[in-house]
Structure 1
Amino acid sequence: MTKQYLAAIKNRRSQYALGKDLPLAEQEVTELIKEAIRQSPSAFNSQSSRAVILHGAQHEKFWEIVKNELQKIVPAENFAPTEEKVNSFAAGAGTVLFYEDQDVVKGLQENFALYADNFPIWSEHSTGIAQFAVWTALAEANIGASLQHYNPLPDAAVAAEWKVPASWKLRAQMPFGSHQGEFSEKEFMADEDRFIVQ
């Protein structure tokens, strides 16, 4: 079991060459994402992680919003590489928008005042775990993905478009789709610089 789990983690890589030909039906992908988030641990079992799961045209609309927001801050003469990058995400089949519910965080701060300063930090832990769980689950299903952080640029437009509750804070975006390219070799820093074992 341990070897299988580590193999799954190793299989999770950033895929930037995405296509729309998924090996699973749309509903199966949705359920996979939901279950991965459901099973992700959180401090005090707060279950603060939220997600907006976009498929097809809705997914493409999200990346159009991102592109429109980027055009406001990137000079026109330099926009071509940015547009190319955003288009590569839109070329996929879907996107998961990861949120953390700030009402949950505030409630925990009020109910457990002793740990109040830690709950925002633990919320960030929760979303990171949820993102990793979804990413690994998608990789296991032979679906490519990468993790992006265009927030807070599109936050307001996205909230209006998909009626996202005001208490949800956007933390990351994960475009996903079929594998349309190979992975580059992954390099690791030296263990002696990263680990202390006593």
Structure 2
Amino acid sequence: MNSITRTAIQAIRRLPQLGPIVTIPRRQPLPRTFTTTTFKMSAISANAFLEAIKNRRSHYPLTKEIPLSRERIDEIVKEAIRHVPSSFNSQSNRVVVLHGAEHEKFWDIATNVLKAIVPADQWESTGGKLAMFKGAAGSILFFEDQDVVNSFQEKFAAYADRFPGWATQSDAMLQFTLWTALEAEGLGANLQHYNPLVDQQVAAEWKIPVSWKLNAQLVFGGKTGEAGPKDFKPIEEVFKTFSS
């Protein structure tokens, strides 16, 4: 054995003694997890909805020639009143739709009531407006059922003072919804408020329940032109946003 071999053997002997060889099994990969959340897309986009809102304007005067049937108008009204939200799902909104001669009858009532109280020197202007509304195709009368409001005040006493305001907010949403929907169907409309002057006669003529309080009248018909330009306040005055 030469000197090189002896030196190599001595070096190996000086290495630390190792324990038995252990075979480590191969690590199995962790199972992957996937998010399966799905999002249901709306039938219309927000942009389409906002465009309908932008197109909703007050139109004067209106005609009796309209691009859709009375049945379609009634269908739109029924769908709106069913789905417009109300606080605690109270469903206090009530609606009466007047077509044709019934619509004209409403504005005859308004004319007779106002003619008795408006000064003669102001009647020409007032009478002209009422005749213009009568010349439209129909009217939608908006009511709140006070029996419903009162029952929720009793049921939820802690919020009793809030329910009248909440009911009015729901009614306003219904007015806006129908106004926008009729505009989307090609009609023109304008919103009027001849209550409470006409309340008693309206209730008698159409047998309206005493608990229904009249809030507004949406006059609808065919357009005679486009609405004029609309002015807007600077967005900085009416909008704020905060993020973190």
Instruction: Tell me which of 143, 147, 159 is aligned to 2:187.
Output: 143
- The offset of 1:80, in angstroms, is 0.6
Task: Give CA-to-partner distance per residue, 1:43-92, whole Å, 9 cap, x none.
Answer: 01111000110000000000111111111221112101111111111111
Aligned-partner residue type, residue 74 of structure 2: T
C-alpha distance in structure 2 between counterparts of 1:148 and 1:120, whole Å: 21
Aligned-partner residue type, residue 40 of structure 1: V
Indicate if the aligned counterparts of 1:22 and 1:178 stay in contact, CA closer than 8 A. Answer: yes
Q: Percent identity?
A: 53
2:28: which partner in 1?
Answer: none
C-alpha distance in structure 2 between counterparts of 1:36 and 1:115, whole Å: 26
Using the TM superposition, name which of 149-158 and 30-39 deviates more: 30-39
TM-score by length of 2: 0.80
- The offset of 1:163, in angstroms, is 0.2
SS of 1:50's equivalent? strand
1:175: which partner in 2?
Answer: 219
- The offset of 1:190, in angstroms, is 1.0
Residue 49 of structure 2 corresponds to residue 5 of structure 1:
yes
C-alpha distance in structure 1 between counterparts of 2:222 and 2:79, whole Å: 20
TM-score by length of 1: 0.98
Aligned-partner residue type, residue 130 of structure 1: L
C-alpha distance in structure 2 between counterparts of 1:178 and 1:63, whole Å: 17
C-alpha distance in structure 2 between counterparts of 1:191 and 1:21, whole Å: 38
Q: Which one has the largest radius of gyration?
A: 2
Runs of 5+ consecutive residues of structure 1 not aligned to the other structure? none
Runs of 5+ consecutive residues of structure 2 not aligned to the other structure? 1-44
1:115: which partner in 2?
Answer: 159
2:31: which partner in 1?
Answer: none
The two structures, once aligned, show a CA RMSD in angstroms of 0.8
- The offset of 1:197, in angstroms, is 2.1
Number of residue pairs matched? 198
Task: Give CA-to-partner distance per residue, 1:79-138, whole Å, 9 cap, x none.
Answer: 011111111111110000000000000000000001000000000101000000100110
SS of 2:67's equivalent? coil
C-alpha distance in structure 2 between counterparts of 1:52 and 1:93, whole Å: 14
Indicate if the aligned counterparts of 1:37 and 1:133 stay in contact, CA closer than 8 A. Answer: no
SS of 1:41's equivalent? coil
C-alpha distance in structure 2 between counterparts of 1:36 and 1:119, whole Å: 21
1:94: which partner in 2?
Answer: 138
C-alpha distance in structure 2 between counterparts of 1:30 and 1:84, whole Å: 28
Give the 5 Å matches for 1:156-195. Answer: 156-195=200-239
1:153: which partner in 2?
Answer: 197
C-alpha distance in structure 2 between counterparts of 1:36 and 1:12, whole Å: 16
Indicate if the aligned counterparts of 1:145 and 1:177 stay in contact, CA closer than 8 A. Answer: yes
C-alpha distance in structure 2 between counterparts of 1:143 and 1:151, whole Å: 24
- The offset of 1:186, in angstroms, is 0.8
Q: Which fold has the larger relative contact order, with Cα–Cα distance below 8 Å and residues 6 or more apart in sequence?
A: 1
SS of 2:192's equivalent? coil
Aligned-partner residue type, residue 138 of structure 2: G
SS of 1:147's equivalent? strand
2:24: which partner in 1?
Answer: none
1:56: which partner in 2?
Answer: 100
SS of 1:185's equivalent? coil
- The offset of 1:10, in angstroms, is 0.6
Aligned-partner residue type, residue 115 of structure 2: Q
C-alpha distance in structure 2 between counterparts of 1:41 and 1:17, whole Å: 31
